[in-house]
């Protein structure tokens, strides 16, 4: 009869183990769109090798940038922190999975006891105990589900950190090259100013112009010199910031000057809804919703009893050497059922906390998607408008240079004052410098677009697939 009762308990335990309390996860609905306002910002292009790998920076076709991004991936300490957090999440997931396994403990001990009516005696015992808490209501399964979702969120966080470092390196490099180009323009302009100053002095000595023209030419040239120092300082700061991203000290790296700015690359056309779904921050937010949903199930299991199965057996003897030959053997087997009857509302509060956190995470996920769509529109609008502006700026430079040449010839003929020459030269200088800044802005907007769409096109990533519906986690 006892064997039948024990068998009944085991069968009941296995049967109840199929139960899982709490809501099953369904991905929340969000804003989805296949149309965007600035559709002209997309430009179709033949498939490139860097698309499949997600190495978007290869589209800039700059060997120095490629090396810098690779070095940052190896040595950046912020990225190392994210990798450590991912390992932590993976260990936590394994810890949760261990909760469904029985525990086996072994003990060996000895004691001496006696009384006024009995002589002192030595007792040695060895015991092996097996304890198992069957997951009757799915508490462990829900915890494993939550930690698995957290693990996927951590993987997406790691991808986001890697993307952020890549973007920061690319932006710093572009800024550095733009400053180099600005310095080149200033040096070229300085040569023009030197020739103009020499011309003005010669005309002054010939009595053609006044001393005021000479002073004005010298002032203009001196002002340009101070601008060059400002650029040098900005470049030093930008280079130090770039080196820090590489996980190195400033003294360990120095980039050569006067490298050309990369051409503005073209990114491929893809549906926006798919692009937003693969963004690391969107993946993280969605996975945290799944984790919060599973925590609701964990909270609801608190209303149900816990069953513990214990089995232990042992040996007792008068000495250690005789322990395993001792005639006295003891054992025990049986279930224990425990249920909390009153907790002052703690379980209700725990459940309400879990539900509130789920609702908060759902709202955060939806807002992350909305922000992603806004950032996509921003990047495409910027690219489209800057491309049109660059064309107009190129036309402005051509006109400014023609105007400068005409005014310089008129000055040589003594028809105008040097003030008009200085004005024309400054217009040309400003137009050229603005063109460099505009080119750098277009490159930065391209980098931002790459970041907005998740940095790559690796659709075989299992974390990405779990969110886009290609496969389940």
Q: Which of 459, 448, 468 is nearest to 286 (CA)?
A: 468
269 pLDDT tier (thresholds 50, 70, 90): low
Name the DSSP letter for residue 340.
Answer: -
Residue 175 near residue 439 (C-beta atoms within 8 A): no
Domain ranges of the chain: 18-101+136-304+345-468, 102-134+305-338
pLDDT given at position 472 = 34
pLDDT given at position 467 = 39
267 pLDDT tier (thresholds 50, 70, 90): low
Residue 87 in this model has a pLDDT that exceeds 80: yes
Q: Which of 232, 222, 223, 240 is nearest to 179 (CA)?
A: 232
pLDDT given at position 255 = 81
pLDDT given at position 253 = 79
Comparison of pLDDT for 94 and 40, the residue scoring more: 94
* CA–CA gap between residue 173 and residue 160 (Å, rounded): 20
* CA–CA gap between residue 29 and residue 314 (Å, rounded): 58
Q: Which stretch of DSSP H or E encloses residue 118?
A: strand 118-132
Residue 177 in this model has a pLDDT that exceeds 50: yes
- Using alpha carbons, list the distances in angstroms from residue 320 to 109, 121, 124, 312, 408: 9, 13, 6, 20, 111
Q: Which stretch of DSSP H or E encloses residue 437?
A: helix 418-452
* CA–CA gap between residue 88 and residue 95 (Å, rounded): 10
Percentage of residues in the chain having pLDDT higher than 90: 35
How much is the CA Rg of the chain, to the nearest whole Å?
37
> What's domain 102-134+305-338's architecture?
Single Sheet (2.20)
Q: Summarize the confidence of residues 281-301 as an average pLDDT.
A: 90
Torsion angle in degrees (nearest 10) through CA of 280, 473, 52, 165: 30
Q: In CATH terms, are 18-101+136-304+345-468 and 102-134+305-338 the same topology?
A: no
18 pLDDT tier (thresholds 50, 70, 90): low
Q: Which fold has domain 18-101+136-304+345-468?
A: Outer membrane efflux proteins (OEP) (1.20.1600)
273 pLDDT tier (thresholds 50, 70, 90): low
| pLDDT tens per residue, range 324-379 | 665 556 667 778 778 778 878 888 998 999 999 999 999 999 999 889 888 888 88
Residue 301 near residue 32 (C-beta atoms within 8 A): no
* CA–CA gap between residue 65 and residue 52 (Å, rounded): 19
| pLDDT tens per residue, range 137-164 | 888 888 888 999 999 898 888 888 989 9
| pLDDT tens per residue, range 420-473 | 999 999 999 999 999 999 999 999 998 988 888 776 545 444 444 443 333 332
Name the DSSP letter for residue 415.
Answer: S
* CA–CA gap between residue 133 and residue 211 (Å, rounded): 99
pLDDT given at position 2 = 47
φ, ψ at 114 (rounded to 5°)? -175, 175
| pLDDT tens per residue, range 404-423 | 999 999 988 888 888 899 99
| pLDDT tens per residue, range 102-116 | 888 888 777 776 665
Average pLDDT, the chain: 81
SS3 state of residue 339: coil
Q: At which residue do the structure tokens 């006044």 appear?
A: 210
| pLDDT tens per residue, range 182-240 | 999 999 999 999 998 998 999 888 888 889 989 999 999 999 999 999 999 999 999 99
* CA–CA gap between residue 425 and residue 215 (Å, rounded): 16
Residue 275 near residue 454 (C-beta atoms within 8 A): yes
């Amino acid at each position: 009869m006892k064997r039948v009762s024990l068998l009944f308990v085991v069968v009941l335990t296995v049967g109840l183990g199929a139960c899982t309390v709490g809501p099953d996860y369904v991905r929340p609905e969000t804003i989805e769109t296949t149309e965007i306002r600035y559709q002209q910002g997309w430009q179709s292009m033949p498939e490139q090798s860097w698309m499949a790998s997600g190495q978007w920076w290869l589209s800039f076709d700059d060997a120095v940038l490629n090396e810098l991004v690779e070095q940052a991936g190896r040595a950046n300490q912020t990225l190392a922190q994210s990798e450590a957090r991912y390992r932590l999440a993976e260990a936590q997931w394994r810890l949760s999975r261990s909760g469904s396994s029985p525990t086996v403990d072994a003990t060996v001990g000895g004691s001496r006891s006696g009384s006024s009516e009995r002589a002192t005696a030595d007792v040695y015992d060895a015991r092996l105990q097996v304890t198992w808490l069957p997951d009757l209501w799915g508490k462990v399964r829900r915890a494993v589900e939550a930690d698995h979702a957290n693990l996927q969120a951590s993987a997406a966080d790691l991808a986001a950190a890697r993307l952020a470092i890549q973007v920061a390196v690319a932006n710093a490099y572009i800024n550095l090259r733009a400053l180099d180009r600005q310095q080149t323009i200033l040096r070229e302009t300085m040569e023009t100013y030197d020739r103009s100053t020499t011309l003005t002095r010669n005309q002054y000595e010939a009595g053609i112009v006044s001393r005021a023209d000479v002073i004005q030419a010298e002032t203009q040239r001196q002002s340009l010199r101070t601008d060059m120092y400002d650029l040098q300082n900005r470049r030093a700061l930008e280079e130090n910031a770039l080196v820090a991203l590489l996980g190195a000290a400033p003294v360990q790296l120095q980039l050569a000057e006067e490298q050309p700015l990369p051409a503005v690359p073209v990114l491929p056309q893809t549906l926006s809804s798919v692009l937003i779904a693969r963004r690391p921050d969107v993946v993280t937010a969605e996975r945290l919703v799944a984790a919060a949903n599973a925590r609701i199930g964990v909270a609801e299991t608190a209303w149900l009893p816990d069953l513990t199965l214990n089995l232990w057996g042992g040996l007792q003897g008068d000495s250690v050497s005789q322990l395993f030959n001792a005639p006295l053997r003891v054992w025990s087997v049986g279930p224990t059922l425990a249920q909390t009857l009153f907790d002052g509302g703690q379980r209700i509060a725990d459940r309400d906390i879990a539900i509130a956190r789920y609702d908060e995470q759902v709202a955060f996920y939806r807002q992350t998607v909305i922000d992603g769509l806004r950032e996509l529109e921003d990047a495409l609008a910027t690219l489209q408008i800057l491309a049109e502006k660059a064309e107009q700026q190129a036309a402005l430079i051509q006109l400014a240079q023609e105007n400068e040449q005409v005014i310089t010839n008129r000055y040589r003929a003594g028809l105008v004052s040097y003030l008009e020459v200085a004005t024309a030269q400054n217009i040309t200088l400003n137009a050229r410098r603005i063109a460099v800044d505009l080119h750098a802005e277009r490159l930065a907007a391209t980098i931002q677009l790459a970041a907005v769409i998740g940095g790559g096109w690796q659709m075989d990533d299992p974390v990405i697939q779990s969110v886009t519906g290609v496969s389940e986690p």
